[in-house]
């Protein structure tokens, strides 16, 4: 978990003759306000390595988030007027990527002075600063760089800034950058750190803030959803390795059987409750939702009963796999054919797969299965062949050529660590109907908002369209009365055969 947190808190910082860039994006005010618009601004500061990064991953720096670039002297003879710069751009976040320092003289002390001035000026104008140590290709680092990095980490521990080490590539913390071109593989770290910075409260260490967030989520109860069918969650002996979210009154569905959504958890974790507000909401609209693993977090989850958890918990690090998702598809097919027990209530002809982050990779791995009739990918996307992927989830980009059913990508905007992978996936899909909905909410989407927020609303409409044939739900995505299009906080793209929509 701490490693995942570190990946989400990654970003960068600047040095001698910096480039700068003002970035602007539309977002939501906070996790509790899914519709209030917020204009996000990011100011990038740096010199040689920032220039290298811009060349290595131009798609990130030319995105709508990035609006302007120039050059000026942050140190040396010409002093930068930080107060005027920050006041002119009014950034919410300042991202500062350092170049390597010389071991000679007072280079570290001068760098500390510059950064102290930056922090003071930013704090006076309400901006959060992300500090990242210099890039050391091949793993070698100078003593001066290490000393400055240690000072940056102390600032982060004191809650004065967010610290990032861009040398470590996401999901492979032991794999280090070897050449400037490798910087593109670390862009997810920038996205994740920006996402964290917009939620950061100065004066409180980032790890402590994350702990508070997790405590609040742990206290979030299982609700019943807002749909017409009161929903419940539980573990059923019929499939004890998985968990169910379902309408409480199953006999209502003996004639019109339940469509099935199979969901992979964030981080490929075995906690089937880490997206419970969203999954309960979908179930309350007449779906059986099968999640991988057991209901562990939240009031009443297994985490509240340590003795039971010891009996049922898999070995540390096991998590879940794409094979676990296939096992759920197999189970639905088997029980539906038997027409007994759960077979009286489920419809094996209407199965969709979905997942969040790593769980989205599990869903994509199973999407070519002919039994799958629709896919929803939350904050995820396949890794390219030329870069590192998620350990244990090596799903090639060629999987996208095997898709046969409609797919929906829900991405959290440029600060979503999966934004680059997800948009790349979408651009490669041509054989099936594909939609990409993006909204400035970051990698955690709106999973933890009441009833799953707008993520749940969009997902439920997609399922109603694709699994229930609901024309009104289809109109939310397409046509002159496109309902989601009326909300300017959404960015909507479409690809693939029009006759499949």
* pLDDT digits 0-9 by tens, 253-299: 999 999 999 999 998 998 899 899 999 999 999 999 999 998 888 77
Q: What is the distance of C-alpha 417 from the center of its chain?
A: 5
At residue 125, φ and ψ (nearest 5 deg) are -110, 15
Most confident stretch, 111-115, 186-190, 397-401: 397-401
Most confident stretch, 158-172, 275-289, 301-315: 275-289
What's the full length of the chain, in residues? 501
Q: Is pLDDT above 90 for 230? A: yes
Other C-beta atoms closer than 10 Å to the C-beta of 426 total: 23
Burial of 237 (0-12, 13-18, 19+ CB in 10 A): exposed
What is the residue whose two structure tokens read 């609700």? Answer: 223
Bigger pLDDT: 17 or 391? 391
Token pair, residue 363, equals: 């869903």
Q: What is the pLDDT of residue 101?
A: 84
Q: Residue 220, by phi and psi: left (phi above 0), alpha (psi -120 to 50) or beta? A: beta
Bigger pLDDT: 28 or 86? 86
Collapsed DSSP state (helix, strand, coil) of residue 374: strand
Q: Which helix (H) or strand (E) holds 218?
A: helix 206-218
Q: What is the distance of C-alpha 189 from the center of its chain?
A: 11
Could you tell me if 187 and 5 are in contact, meaning their C-beta atoms sit under 8 angstroms apart? no
Q: What is the pLDDT of residue 168?
A: 75
- Range 2-215 classified under CATH 2.60.40: no
Q: Is pLDDT above 50 for 500? A: no
Ranges of CATH 3.40.50.1820 domains, the chain? 231-500
Could you tell me if 15 and 76 are in contact, meaning their C-beta atoms sit under 8 angstroms apart? no
CA atoms within 13 A on the CB side of 108: 14
Tell me the angle at which helices 82-89 and 107-124 cross, rounded to the nearest 10 degrees.
40
Most confident stretch, 208-212, 273-277, 370-374: 370-374
Sign of the CA dihedral 142, 143, 147, 148? negative
What is the residue whose two structure tokens read 């760098």? Answer: 111
Among 11, 36, 31, 8, residue whose Cα is nearest residue 23: 11
The Cα–Cα gap between 368 and 374 comes to 10
Q: What is the pTM of this model?
A: 0.83
Average the pLDDT over each of 150-164, 181-195, 244-258, 377-391 and give the range with the smallest value. 377-391
Helix ranges (DSSP H) in 440-483: 453-468, 471-475
Collapsed DSSP state (helix, strand, coil) of residue 86: helix
Q: Is pLDDT above 60 for 245? A: yes
Q: What is the pLDDT of residue 180?
A: 80
- Range 231-500 classified under CATH 1.10.10.10: no
Sheet with 258-264, edge to edge strand ranges: 231-234, 242-247, 288-292, 258-264, 346-356, 372-378, 407-411, 434-438, 491-495
Q: Is pLDDT above 80 for 14? A: no
> Any bridge partners for residue 234, and if so which?
244
Could you tell me if 344 and 337 are in contact, meaning their C-beta atoms sit under 8 angstroms apart? no
Average pLDDT of the residues of the chain: 81
Q: What is the pLDDT of residue 110?
A: 85
Residue 369 binned pLDDT confidence (cut-offs 50, 70, 90): very high
Residue 457 binned pLDDT confidence (cut-offs 50, 70, 90): very high
Q: Is pLDDT above 80 for 44? A: yes
DSSP 270-335: SBTTTTHHHHHHHHTTT-EEEEESB--SSTTSGGG-HHHHHHHPPPTT----HHHHHHHHHHHHHH
Tell me the angle at which helices 419-428 and 187-197 cross, rounded to the nearest 10 degrees.
120
The Cα–Cα gap between 222 and 498 comes to 39
Q: What is the pLDDT of residue 392?
A: 61
Among 17, 24, 43, residue whose Cα is nearest residue 125: 43
Bigger pLDDT: 311 or 199? 199
């Amino acid at each position: 978990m701490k490693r995942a947190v570190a990946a989400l808190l990654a970003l960068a910082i600047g040095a001698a003759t910096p480039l700068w860039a003002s970035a602007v994006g539309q977002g939501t005010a906070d996790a509790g306000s899914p519709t209030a618009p917020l204009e996000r601004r990011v100011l990038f500061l740096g010199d040689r390595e920032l220039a290298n990064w811009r060349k290595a991953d131009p798609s990130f720096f030319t995105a709508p988030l990035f609006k302007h670039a120039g050059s000026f002297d942050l140190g040396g003879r010409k002093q930068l007027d930080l107060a005027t710069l920050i006041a002119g751009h009014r950034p919410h976040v300042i991202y500062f990527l350092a170049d390597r320092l010389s071991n000679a003289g007072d280079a570290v002390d001068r760098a500390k002075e510059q950064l102290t001035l930056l922090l003071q000026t930013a704090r006076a104008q309400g901006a959060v600063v992300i500090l990242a140590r210099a890039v050391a290709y091949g793993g070698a680092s100078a003593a001066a760089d290490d000393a400055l990095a240690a000072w940056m980490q102390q600032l982060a521990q004191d809650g004065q800034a967010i610290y990032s080490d861009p040398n470590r590539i996401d999901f492979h913390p032991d794999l280090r950058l070897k050449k400037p071109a490798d910087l593109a593989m670390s862009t997810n770290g920038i996205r994740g750190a920006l996402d964290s910075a917009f939620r950061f409260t100065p004066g409180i260490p980032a790890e402590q803030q994350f702990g508070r967030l997790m405590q609040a989520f742990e206290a979030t109860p299982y609700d019943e959803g807002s749909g017409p069918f009161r929903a419940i969650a539980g573990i059923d002996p019929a499939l004890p390795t998985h968990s169910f979210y379902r309408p409480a009154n199953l006999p209502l569905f003996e004639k019109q059987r339940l469509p099935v959504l199979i969901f992979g958890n964030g981080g490929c974790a075995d906690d089937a409750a880490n997206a419970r507000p969203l999954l309960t909401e979908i179930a309350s609209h007449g779906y059986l939702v099968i999640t991988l693993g057991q209901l562990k977090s939240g009031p009443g989850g297994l985490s509240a009963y340590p003795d039971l958890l010891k009996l049922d918990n898999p070995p540390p690090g096991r998590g879940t796999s794409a094979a676990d998702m296939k096992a759920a598809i197999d189970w639905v097919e088997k029980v539906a054919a038997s027409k007994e027990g759960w077979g009286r209530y489920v419809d094996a002809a209407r199965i969709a797969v979905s997942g969040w982050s790593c769980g989205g990779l599990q869903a994509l791995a199973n999407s070519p299965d002919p039994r799958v009739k629709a896919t929803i990918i939350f904050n995820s996307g396949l890794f390219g062949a030329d870069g590192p992927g998620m350990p244990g989830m090596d799903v090639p980009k060629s999987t996208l050529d095997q898709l046969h059913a409609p797919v929906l990508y829900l991405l959290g905007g440029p600060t979503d660590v999966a934004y680059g992978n997800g948009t790349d996936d979408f651009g490669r899909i041509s054989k099936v109907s594909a939609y990409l909905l993006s909204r400035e909410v970051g990698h955690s989407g709106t999973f933890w908002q009441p009833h799953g927020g707008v993520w749940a609303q969009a997902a439920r409409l997609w399922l109603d369209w694709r699994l229930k044939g609901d024309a009104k739900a289809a109109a939310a995505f397409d046509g002159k009365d496109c309902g989601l299009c009326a909300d300017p906080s959404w960015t909507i793209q479409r690809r693939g055969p029009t006759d499949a929509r």
